[in-house]
Amino acid sequence: MKINGRNVLKKLGAIGTVGIGGVGLSGTVNAHVQDPYADRWVAADSSNYSDANYGAEEIDWVVIHVTQGSYAGTVSWIQNPDSNVSAHYAIRNSDGHATQMVHHEDRAWHAGGTNYNAHSIGIEHEGWVGDTNFTDALYQKSADIVSWLCDTYGISKVHPTGVAPCDARDGSGIIGHHQVPESDCGYNAHTDPGSTWDWDYFMSLVNGSSGGGGGGNKFAMDDRVTPTTNLNTREQPGTDQPIVATISPGEIGEIMNGPIDDGGYRWWGVHWLDRNVWGWSVERYLTDA
């Protein structure tokens, strides 16, 4: 195992100092650490994961998966003793509803090998590889969970490119399932999360989240923003609301209200200074000015 500052700090207890106990998830066991973002607990079948009792120093990665099916079907499949698979979380695309199914301290069978299963948290996202338009609600919930996991277990908030290290203990970060190495240290046959997964957007949310239950907002009041593309601003949050104006990249606005989640998007109230108009705009298409 490569010894680095992160491993030393974790072993000394400087990273991963967490409270023990449930936080209102129905059915959770008080002896397990629970994050503040999961909406419910539904246990995976006991034949689909390994009781491991891992410590914080042994969790190095978060692996991003896509379900290739529905959220409900995925939760049901992980509860099926014939599946022989599991993940720590499943997240619904429409609204970001998250179900935790395996405790962090236990080994979910999600990464395709004992090495990465033993040193990672797996998150399934409802959708189909290369086809699903993932909602802002899903991205935000996943980012909140991932940011909290990174803060809690000392995982690096980075998305490395290429295949991950052959030995999971030689690195740390947030990767797609396709980046988990095979036994020959090359790419595996998986393709998730696929071409429609917006890594830049997702990682901006991960690094902008507080990770401590406080919401992890991307912007704050009075922040200056500009669109990343021609952007409709509306009278109220919602894609069915009347358009006030279409704002172009380079125009400057000031955050005045929000955020409000509606229709799978996160909306901010923005005063567009050059035009002196006010409206609601989708967070995904806003960046710092």
Residues of the chain with CATH 3.40.80.10: 5-208
* Model pLDDT for residues 47-78, shown as the tens digit of each residue: 999 988 777 678 999 999 999 999 999 999 99
Q: Is the pLDDT at 236 greater than 70, yes or no? A: yes
pLDDT of residue 32: 66
Spatial distance between the Cα atoms of 182 and 81, rounded to a whole number of angstroms: 25
Residue range 224-288 forms a domain whose CATH class is mainly beta
| Average pLDDT value for residue range 105-133 | 94
| Average pLDDT value for residue range 176-184 | 93
pTM here is 0.67
Q: Is 79 left (phi over 0), alpha (psi -120 to 50) or beta?
A: alpha
Q: How many CB atoms lie within 10 A of CB 258?
A: 18
Spatial distance between the Cα atoms of 66 and 129, rounded to a whole number of angstroms: 6
Residues of the chain with CATH 2.30.30.40: 224-288
> 5-208: which CATH topology?
Lysozyme-like (3.40.80)
User: Residue 233: which of 249, 245, 225, 251 has the closest Cα?
Assistant: 245
Helices 136-153, 199-208: axis angle to 10 degrees equals 50
At 218, the pLDDT band (50, 70, 90 cuts) reads: confident
Q: E strands of the chain, at which residues?
A: 40-41, 49-50, 61-66, 89-91, 98-100, 107-108, 120-125, 173-176, 224-227, 231-234, 243-247, 253-262, 265-272, 277-282, 286-288
pLDDT of residue 213: 40
| C-alpha torsion sign, points 188, 192, 195, 197 | negative
| Average pLDDT value for residue range 184-199 | 94
Please tell me the total number of residues recorded for the chain in this structure. Answer: 289
